[in-house]
């Protein structure tokens, strides 16, 4: 049995798979890596551990002749055609829970950094423009007594809200279903999307990308944003109208935005680079040593279970 890992991930994955008695190969990516290279490498695999940047569409799946499981090394799974994989009898798994805290920490980091203009302040010092303390230098906003709107009150959204409580923020949330336990724990109120955008000083996006959530935040509802609004996206770029968000930031109709994800990732809209009131991160929501190890371990355990004809731990299709 052969397991293919489509890029180097923490060694624990390889170790566990080998210890379970299966062969494993890690693809060495170089600048020539392409869909065809991916297909060539995985066509005889019994199991694949994929990255969120590997587009596993019908064409790729049709070329997986023996694959029993695609274990995505991410909580998001919009890169995989789940239904088609299922129709071919391929189990798909993700890595939930283990990356909740790291991603919520990053969302909170962006909230604080945007509110206190961290990126502008740091740049000013590096550029040797710091001429001494000044009453109006780089004024930002307090968090205390402000409102955080959580869009998507799943694991990461809730974990972000819990962190925000410690900074004195009140919580509104938008979610398909009501989360009573979350409400009891945080006094959060469930509201419509329009009301959330109207009332929130900070907006943090935590939805999965699906056909329903694509452009859920768009020019029709973003018109409700407050002039001091700060928008944070650590979920997926396609959930919000990026071009319109850029317009709002450029014309200072909102205060700031923190991006960890982009519409056409890894390609960046060049207009983003010119915005002073945006923080741009390279999709590092889960990027801590502990979390990436835990993700590798979970992906490997899913593979081992399925190859041993046992139930996957986190099946999504």
Nearer to ligand DGY, 286 or 317 (CB): 286
Question: What does the chain come to in residues?
Answer: 317
Q: How far is the CB of 299 from ligand DGY (least distance, A)?
A: 11
User: In the complex, which residue's CB is closest to ligand DGY?
Assistant: 285
Of the candidate residues 38, 42, 48, 52, the single one contacting ligand DGY (CB under 6 A): 52
Of the candidate residues 50, 93, 103, 113, the single one contacting ligand DGY (CB under 6 A): 103
Asked if 29 is an active-site residue, the reply is no
Nearer to ligand DGY, 101 or 241 (CB): 101
> Which residue among the candidates 120, 155, 183, 265 is catalytic per the annotation?
265
Q: Would you count residue 50 as binding ligand DGY (CB under 6 A)?
A: no
Measured distance CA(85)–CA(155) in Å, rounded: 25
> Which residue among the candidates 206, 236, 238, 292 is catalytic per the annotation?
236
Measured distance CA(15)–CA(293) in Å, rounded: 12
Question: Within positions 260 to 299, which residues make up the interface with ligand DGY, using CB under 6 A?
Answer: 283, 285-286
Q: What is the DSSP string of 37-90?
A: HHHHHHTT-SEEEE-TTS-B-HHHHHT-SS--EEEESSS--TTB-HHHHHHTT-
Supply 38's token pair: 């991916």
Of the candidate residues 75, 108, 222, 296, the single one contacting ligand DGY (CB under 6 A): 75
Helix intervals (H) in the chain: 12-19, 35-42, 58-62, 82-87, 100-115, 118-126, 155-165, 180-186, 193-199, 219-222, 242-250, 270-273, 289-307
Letters for 192-231 (x = contact with ligand DGY by CB under 6 A, - = none) are ----------------------------------------
Residue 31: count of CB within 10 angstroms of its CB: 5
Q: How many residues bind ligand DGY (CB under 6 A)?
A: 9
Nearer to ligand DGY, 22 or 77 (CB): 77
Angstrom distances, CA of residue 262 to CA of 169, 281, 306: 26, 10, 33
Nearer to ligand DGY, 52 or 67 (CB): 52
Measured distance CA(24)–CA(278) in Å, rounded: 42
Contact partners, residue 134, CB within 8 Å, separation at least 6: none
Asked if 127 is an active-site residue, the reply is no
Of the candidate residues 99, 115, 150, 294, the single one contacting ligand DGY (CB under 6 A): 99
Question: Within positions 156 to 195, which residues make up the interface with ligand DGY, using CB under 6 A?
Answer: none
Nearer to ligand DGY, 159 or 254 (CB): 159
- Which residues are marked as active site? 236, 265, 283
**Chain contacts with ligand DGY (rule: CB under 6 A):** 52, 74-76, 99, 103, 283, 285-286
């Amino acid at each position: 049995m052969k397991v293919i890992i489509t890029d180097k991930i923490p060694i624990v994955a390889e170790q566990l798979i080998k210890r379970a008695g299966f062969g494993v190969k890690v693809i060495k990516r170089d600048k020539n890596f392409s869909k065809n290279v991916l297909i060539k490498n995985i066509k005889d695999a019994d199991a694949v551990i994929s990255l969120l940047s590997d587009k596993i569409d019908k064409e790729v799946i049709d070329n997986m002749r023996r694959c029993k499981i695609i274990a995505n090394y991410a909580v998001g799974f919009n890169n995989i055609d789940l239904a088609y994989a299922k129709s071919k009898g391929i189990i798909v798994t993700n890595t939930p829970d283990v990356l909740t805290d790291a991603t919520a920490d990053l969302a909170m980091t962006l909230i604080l950094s945007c509110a206190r203009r961290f990126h502008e302040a740091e740049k000013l010092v590096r550029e040797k423009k710091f001429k001494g303390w000044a009453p109006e230098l780089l004024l930002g906003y307090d968090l205390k007594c402000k409102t955080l709107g959580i869009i998507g009150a799943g694991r990461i959204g809730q974990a972000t809200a819990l962190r925000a409580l410690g900074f004195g923020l009140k919580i509104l949330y938008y979610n398909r279903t009501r989360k009573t336990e979350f409400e009891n724990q945080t006094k959060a109120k469930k509201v419509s999307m329009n009301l959330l955008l109207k009332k929130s000083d900070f907006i943090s996006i935590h939805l999965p990308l699906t056909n329903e959530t694509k452009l859920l935040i768009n020019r029709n509802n973003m018109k409700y944003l407050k002039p001091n609004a700060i928008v944070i996206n650590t979920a997926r770029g396609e959930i919000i109208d990026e071009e319109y968000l850029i317009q709002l930031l450029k014309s200072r109709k909102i205060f700031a935005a923190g991006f960890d994800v982009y519409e056409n990732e890894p390609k960046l809209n060049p207009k983003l680079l010119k915005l002073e009131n945006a923080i741009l991160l390279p999709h590092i929501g889960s990027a801590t040593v502990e979390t990436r190890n835990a993700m590798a371990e979970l992906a490997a355990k899913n593979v081992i279970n399925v190859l041993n004809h046992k139930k996957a731990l986190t099946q999504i299709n």
